[in-house]
Structure 1
């Protein structure tokens, strides 16, 4: 294989072309990386990242069908195809114009017969990745370890009932953290794909949660030992592949972290497709995590709630992107996190240009969401209405409630003096109508 084989020959670097027509899908119509909004470039607000596993390891296979995406970079012996994938990925990153990518350790290189061989494979591949990063300026948004796919993890990794398996997960994590430092990853994500249970009858929930907390403490300790400067993130998901996963949603994870005294070492990586699987609205966990100061990054995808499983589609709904970007702007941005496209082209979208079209469309959707959110915040109509709705907490008894000094005796005295409250309208339809004005 020639070191610089072209995998996307004929596809030039994607450009911003304002005013492009409806069928002009190989250019950005809204994403203008250098445009300044509220003192920052659009690129800095959005911090887009391409996910390695779906875009370059994905085959289009699903539980009901064989692979449909036959990529040249997946052909050949394991290490040969791994190198081709890496070259293809960096060609894609540079032509798309993104500055970040994300990967699992096992996306980057194949497992060997032993842990030592596996680690050598990973060292070889990350040497090449570091070279390509230095050549292109593309960085790692986050690294994660695949602690769910191998048969050894069928009963969990950090929560496995067999300590031997937990030890293997720890050894794999140690190497993953070393790789994160080597490549300058800005974040490290933990997704507990098998950390949960299928039957409560064979599960000691208290023991498993305790062991998972211990696993996280070991990660924090090793991160400090090696001087790894990155943000730790936990990604909630309610189900799939387990019937119930311990990281069910944002509140479940935050409660776990606070219970075990880990809240100062982790934030959350929210995936809206997972949020809807938990029965929440698209933006719910983004809002909750941000409100509690725990929103660290967003896996930017969407799903089809009517199907009931994790479809990992590219986010194209501008209403959803506007709501997400409003939260992100209001908390001052996502740095060092970002918007990672944990999404895959449909198995029916088989052409190489479809991979570009999907990312371009999603980036444009978020650019539109960003502009909408900026306009909404700058004009201040909705925020002013919300402030007025809660204005009773700015003085008198409300101020005492706000600062935590109110007592039940104060409540009683207030009611005796003021009587029954006058309930005011929530004006939901008015808020919705005003929000639609900005879309």
Structure 2
């Protein structure tokens, strides 16, 4: 483990030391108020429960550019005319940041870590060179890889999709890229591998065969699964739903769509879902809803922790600071048994207007404190059976008698008719939604 204040030959975040836990009374913006990595909650430390990860793309590749203007930030690690030199410097900056912040994991796209070359072979050579450096940096710092993935959406060749592209030559390029990204993930001990179908969908049905594209997508994922297992990947394959943007209608629209797709094609045994809060918003659902459907199906794998803007209809990828969302999200995670190979990856970026060196730390600190508090709230609610008891009572008519017979499949429709005739008009039973919402707020206001 390195004891140096930075990684490599230079310091990219000068004046910022290791972020420490100082407690709720601290007014130090560069300190944790709620996230105490070693504090034990429900038999595990906060670090073990939350499994925080920093993303490579927004944090070290994003420069604040948007459709209306160029980047607003410049980085010391991009000061060379040689792309591979910049890639090495960026990796040193990333591991310096990971170490100072204290997130135990990171996540990357292949093109975040290494520049694309002029050929498949050159791209692979660039990536594998950076993997060797990443291995060294992981050994020096103790950092681990939560998941890797391939950016099969930015290059213009993927304008009509990757695995769903109508041109087989493009599908083959996507296969080559995913193969290399899987090789990199395995080499770095990645615990998961993610597929985000950024352009796996369609713009117009006039020129699209959805049947063929969905079949090709399933075949591609099956091939990736088989290759990953053949090279020793024992982790979880994850699909991250998103309804739109950039594609008008993406095939991985929301959690239920992906769950049905996986089951239909026999992939649910190897694949789970990586739920992003902002994508849930764009699909017209809540973060909690998407998590719950995955948990109900036994397919909740990991989380991209961020938030959207209720007034904006696009993917704003803001750092999560909503305590209610975090508490309700962690309640679903804990009730599902907690993370296995997944974790909380901050797929979030500082705002275009946030240009100071410390802003990236501040965004992560606030988000980590938010989910740490959410964890403690969720655990207290579970321990007190504050929500589970009223929920069980609400469905108690299915626990005995004719209701249980119905749930067990022992009644037919005629039996339902006879029961309705003999039981008479059902009584009105309040759902007590307002009381339960107030109850959650009471826990949010507690000190832990």
Shorter-chain TM-score above 0.5: yes
Deviation string 1:270-293 (CA, Å, 9 cap, x unpaired) is 001000001112322111111111
Identify which of 416, 426, 432 aligns with 2:431. Answer: 426
Distance 1:326 1:67 in 2: 38
Query: Aligned-pair distance for 1:100?
Result: 0.1
Identify which of 35, 38, 42 aligns with 1:31. Answer: 35
Q: Which residue in the other structure is 1:193 paired with?
A: 198
Query: Aligned-pair distance for 1:423?
Result: 2.6
Q: Which residue in the other structure is 1:117 paired with?
A: 122
Equivalent residues, number: 437
Identify which of 322, 325, 335 aligns with 1:320. Answer: 325
Q: Which moved more, 1:26-35 or 1:393-402?
A: 393-402
The DSSP-based 3-state class of the residue aligned with 2:146 is strand
1:62 maps onto 2:72 in alignment? no
Distance 1:406 1:134 in 2: 61
1:43 maps onto 2:55 in alignment? no
Query: Aligned-pair distance for 1:176?
Result: 1.1
Distance 2:393 2:223 in 1: 47
Paired residues of 1:143 and 1:188 also in contact (CA < 8 A): yes
Q: Which residue in the other structure is 2:380 paired with?
A: 375
Query: Aligned-pair distance for 1:165?
Result: 0.5
Q: Which residue in the other structure is 2:4 paired with?
A: none
Query: Aligned-pair distance for 1:331?
Result: 0.8
Q: Which residue in the other structure is 1:349 paired with?
A: 354
Classify 1:74/1:406 alpha carbon distance in 2 versus 1 (closer, same or farther; 3 Å). farther
Paired residues of 1:277 and 1:308 also in contact (CA < 8 A): yes
Identify which of 397, 413, 419 aligns with 2:418. Answer: 413
Identify which of 13, 17, 20 aligns with 1:12. Answer: 17
Structure 2: gaps spanning 5 or more residues: 1-6
Matches within 5 A, 1:299-310: 299-310=304-315
Matches within 5 A, 1:229-240: 229-240=234-245
Paired residues of 1:277 and 1:305 also in contact (CA < 8 A): no
Matches within 5 A, 1:174-193: 174-193=179-198
Query: Aligned-pair distance for 1:4?
Result: 2.3
Distance 2:235 2:332 in 1: 23
Classify 1:151/1:426 alpha carbon distance in 2 versus 1 (closer, same or farther; 3 Å). same
Identify which of 292, 307, 324 aligns with 1:287. Answer: 292
Query: Aligned-pair distance for 1:410?
Result: 2.5
Deviation string 1:81-140 (CA, Å, 9 cap, x unpaired) is 000000000010011111100000000000111110110101110000001101111000
Distance 2:410 2:297 in 1: 21
Paired residues of 1:57 and 1:74 also in contact (CA < 8 A): no
Q: Which residue in the other structure is 1:209 paired with?
A: 214
Q: Which residue in the other structure is 1:71 paired with?
A: 75
Q: TM-score, normalised by structure 2?
A: 0.96
Identify which of 273, 276, 280 aligns with 1:271. Answer: 276
Q: TM-score, normalised by structure 1?
A: 0.98
